[in-house]
Structure 1
Amino acid sequence: MNTQEFKRLLRWESMLTLVLVIEFVCFANLSPYFLDVWTLSDATFNFTERAVIALPLALLIIAGEIDISVAAIIALASVAMGLGAAAGVQTPGLVAIGLSTGLVAGMINGALVTLGRVPSIVATIGTMTLFRGFAYAVLGDRVLKDYPQSFAKFGQGYATGPLSIELCILIVLAVMFGLFLHITRWGRTIYALGANPTAAKWSGVPVDRYRFLLFAVTGLCSGLSAVLLTSRLGSTRPSIAQGWELEIISMVILGGVSVWGGKGTIPGVLLAAVVLGFVNFGLGLLNVPGIVMSIIVGTLLITVVAIPVLAERWWGRPPRRA
């Protein structure tokens, strides 16, 4: 094996691909239903809605910021759509309500960070409590179910054969974010923001404008995820997407995005979303209890994140993560 092949083997994405292959081999041997095409199609619902948010969140973390409020934005957007549906708003209007609610929530986060100079982790923890609390204050113990039948196609429909509409949306977004981050000048600027924001500012980069837009896009995609999730469930509860923020951040970190900013790739994040999604689905197919699933997923996350440290000790350099 020459040096180039060895480096390619150590790429973060290559490791995630290897983990995914091992997953498929193990679950295919443990369950005769796992490799059924419709079973695999159903498995994609375990990660598509979360991955829709993980893509812009990856850009935000690469830029040196973070958003903890994404799941609470889903709840807020879902409540807004539920109230709209109860008032007789039809499907196009409901989609517009969900997207606009997410966008406004993201802009609020962006304004707190760029104008209010509040650290992003503090600002978004605050808005996480605010948005989720507002959802509970409006609904309480109620459940909103008055959605038009056509609204269900976003979360339950299929574009062709076993290919779901949700998966098609995720693929399109992954291509868009991947091209933006890895091909364009704006993408290179995002890497610069995370690597050295002071140098980027003195180079004439409008740092606050980039940060505000990244928060806004993250909020918009959270609104889109709310549309997909609410459409799939057919109902709205204030507890919708509870705990998703940690799962989404886990996808991003497992995908190779550095928590210190400046490093990461969209293919890595997408692979991490698929890996975690199929782990949860495969364990569920085997009737593994939820607490055991959490332990296994947590162990997988810790193990994979520890690989760069072990590689640096053994070979003198970590796997390339960006």
Structure 2
Amino acid sequence: MTMAPPPRPIPPRHIPDRLNGSFLRRLKSWETLLLAVAAAIFTFNALASPYFLDPWNLSDATFNFTEKAMIALAMALLIIAGEIDLSVGAIIALASVAMGAARQMGVETTGLVLIGAGVGLACGAFNGFLVAGLGLPSIVATIGTMSLFRGIAYIILGDGAYGGYPASFAWFGQGYVWGAITFELALLAVLAVVYGVLLHGTNFGRRIYAIGNNATAAAFSGVRVRRIRMTLFMLTGLMAGIASVCLTSRLGSTRPSIGMGMELEVITMVVLGGVAITGGSGTILGVMLAALIMGLITFGLGLLNVPGVVMSIFVGILLISVIALPKLLEKMRR
């Protein structure tokens, strides 16, 4: 009895270099899509309003996203690691109230900046202690601290307001470093480079990705998961404190309602930028492009006299859509 010869292996399918090259991968990337969307929105705004292309109007448009984008940089790292911070808006309020109270005692600009950043850092450390130290789920812990920090701000200030900030303090939120380029935009650009190098060019960034993909495996590989989580929460709190300095400086006054709802827009920027809400993937470039898109949309709607509540509705729909779209595409593929 003769045995049948084994079947010949099917040769691998050859994919031409022009279809398998890095250019096509970049073309298909989420960041490329965001860049195309940003260009389309920019063109639409330019055609819809004759005032849009004015350099000083474009400069004013950056105020719609710079403070939120600063927080989004740190939030992106936190979400890539599989965590989240819903208290950033309340941290802004508490840091602003602390700066206002200090100003009533005669503290000058340098002290105010240090107090704002320091309060943000302390709030982030407290969040990190709850999550990394006590092992609480980050979404539950930060919902609690969101109410806690905002409540403290209301207890200190009530329905009143703080003002009377020194003229030099206003430069952080209203000053220009060169031509129509604001200090906030310049600071955001520097921070984006720093966070980009930190996430994509260091061992610390690779460990963040490892934690987001599988925290248990990362811990067995020698990654100090708790320490990195603590550091990320502290960075997020610090960025919220810096954003509070810029926002308070730009507004020139403090109310306990400052920063209300900002956490939703920050998370929307991060998720729209391609960061997986479940952790493990994402880029700083995508987050910055998403921030630019949201800023252009907000400014464009403002030029067209669209009510602010429409932007809130849009942000909610955008957040749901970006999270749901991958799920729907996966179901269709199956």
The TM-score normalised by the length of structure 1 is: 0.94
Q: Give the corresponding residue for 1:21.
A: 39
Residue 114 of structure 1 pairs with residue 118 of structure 2: no
Q: Give the corresponding residue for 1:227.
A: 245
Letter in 2 for 1:2: L
Identity %: 60
Provide the rounded CA distance (Å) in 1 between the counterparts of 2:284 and 2:295.
16
Q: How many residues align?
A: 316
Q: Give the corresponding residue for 1:257.
A: 275
Q: Give the corresponding residue for 2:19.
A: 2
Work out which of the residue numbers 91, 99, 102 in structure 2 matches 1:84: 102
Provide the rounded CA distance (Å) in 2 between the counterparts of 1:273 and 1:145.
29
Residue 67 of structure 1 pairs with residue 68 of structure 2: no
Letter in 2 for 1:197: A
Residue 167 of structure 1 pairs with residue 167 of structure 2: no
| Other structure's SS at 2:86 match | coil
Residue 193 of structure 1 pairs with residue 211 of structure 2: yes
Q: Give the corresponding residue for 1:285.
A: 303
Confirm or deny: 8 A CA contact 2:265 2:315 kept in the other structure: no
Offset at 1:188?
A: 0.3
Deviations 1:67-105 (A, max 9, x none): 110010000000000001110000000001001100110
Counterparts in 2 of 1:5-154, with a 5 A limit?
5-154=23-172
Provide the rounded CA distance (Å) in 1 between the counterparts of 2:116 and 2:306.
34
Unpaired segments of 5 or more residues in structure 2? 1-17
CA separation of 1:109 and 1:274: change in aligned 2, threshold 3 A? same
Letter in 2 for 1:247: E
Provide the rounded CA distance (Å) in 1 between the counterparts of 2:212 and 2:142.
18
* Range with greater deviation from structure 2 (7-16 or 244-253): 7-16
Q: Give the corresponding residue for 1:247.
A: 265
Structure 1 residue runs of 4 or more that deviate by more than 6 Å after TM superposition = none
Offset at 1:206?
A: 0.8
Q: Give the corresponding residue for 2:221.
A: 203
Offset at 1:295?
A: 3.3
Provide the rounded CA distance (Å) in 1 between the counterparts of 2:253 and 2:111.
17
| Other structure's SS at 2:177 match | strand
Confirm or deny: 8 A CA contact 1:279 1:297 kept in the other structure: no
Deviations 1:236-285 (A, max 9, x none): 00000100011101111101111111100000001101100110110011
Q: Give the corresponding residue for 2:10.
A: none
Q: Give the corresponding residue for 2:173.
A: 155
* Range with greater deviation from structure 2 (80-89 or 6-15): 6-15
Offset at 1:7?
A: 2.8
* Range with greater deviation from structure 2 (284-293 or 27-36): 284-293
Q: Give the corresponding residue for 1:294.
A: 312
Deviations 1:222-244 (A, max 9, x none): 10000000000000000001000
Provide the rounded CA distance (Å) in 2 between the counterparts of 1:117 and 1:313.
34
Letter in 1 for 2:50: P
| Other structure's SS at 1:2 match | helix
Offset at 1:302?
A: 4.4
Work out which of the residue numbers 203, 210, 233 in structure 2 matches 1:215: 233
Unpaired segments of 5 or more residues in structure 1? 318-322
Offset at 1:135?
A: 0.2
Confirm or deny: 8 A CA contact 2:271 2:322 kept in the other structure: no
Provide the rounded CA distance (Å) in 2 between the counterparts of 1:102 and 1:188.
26
Instruction: Compare CA radii of gyration and give the structure with the larger one.
Output: 2
Letter in 2 for 1:102: G
Confirm or deny: 8 A CA contact 1:90 1:148 kept in the other structure: yes
Provide the rounded CA distance (Å) in 1 between the counterparts of 2:53 and 2:325.
29
Provide the rounded CA distance (Å) in 1 between the counterparts of 2:62 and 2:19.
37
Letter in 1 for 2:166: P
The TM-score normalised by the length of structure 2 is: 0.91
CA separation of 1:225 and 1:56: change in aligned 2, threshold 3 A? same
Offset at 1:301?
A: 4.3
Letter in 2 for 1:103: L
Provide the rounded CA distance (Å) in 2 between the counterparts of 1:303 and 1:121.
20
Offset at 1:114?
A: 1.5
